[in-house]
Amino acid sequence: MIDQRRSSQERIAALEAGADDVLDVQMGEEELVARIRAVLRRAQSRPQPTPNAQVLSLNWGCKTVEHHGLRRTLTQTEFNLMVVLTINAGRIVLRRHLLLIVWGVASDSRAKKVLNTYIFSLRRKLASIGAPHAVQTIRGVGFSLHGAASTTERSPAETPSSS
């Protein structure tokens, strides 16, 4: 939760109401990125839910994406992009948010080109397993992964079974 609340009591009330954290809007980008990375580190150290978008399934341990029994290995960066898109399946993920979460950088023309290159590569791999239109571009805004998201539990070290 990002808020302008100043008092400790208001922050405590927000946390007790269910917020995972309360961040000040004046927090710098570096601190926000550091907090996100800390959460990702903690998440990788315990069993992870495997996000599934429609019939796309991600395996955290092997860094693979699967669609109708066909599997492709992703680079760490492609996998990180896929995780963010899958968690937000059906919603638009802004370019600047992807750049901050995946690379920890602010949006600039060079960073946007790098993001576009990785999205192109990810789409090519998804097309090779029969999901060519899974990642949609929302022109001038960001990207969206089509399909409903659900989760199943898997350990980060678990390898996919052959099917």
Phi, psi (5° rounding) for residue 116? -60, -40
Q: Tell me, what's the pLDDT at 89?
A: 85
**Separation between Cα atoms, residue 68 and residue 6, nearest integer Å:** 50
Q: Which CATH architecture has domain 47-163?
A: Orthogonal Bundle (1.10)
pTM equals 0.61
**Separation between Cα atoms, residue 7 and residue 84, nearest integer Å:** 32
Residue-by-residue DSSP string for the chain: -EE---SHHHHHHHHHTT-S--EETT--HHHHHHHHHHHHHHHHTS-EEEEEETTEEEETTTTEEEETTEEEE--HHHHHHHHHHHHTTTSEEEHHHHIIIII-----HHHHHHHHHHHHHHHHHHHHTT-TTSEEEETTTEEEE-S-EEEEEE-TTPPPPP-
Q: Distance of alpha carbon 7 from its chain centroid, rounded?
A: 32
Q: Which residue has the higher pLDDT, 30 or 79?
A: 79
User: What is the band of 109 on the pLDDT scale with cuts at 50, 70, 90?
Assistant: confident
pLDDT at 73 over 60: yes
pLDDT tens string 111-151: 999 999 999 999 999 999 998 899 999 998 999 998 544 33
Residue ranges, comma separated, of all CATH 1.10.10.10 domains in the chain are 47-163
User: 60, exposed or middle or buried, with CB in 10 Å at 0-12, 13-18, 19+?
Assistant: buried
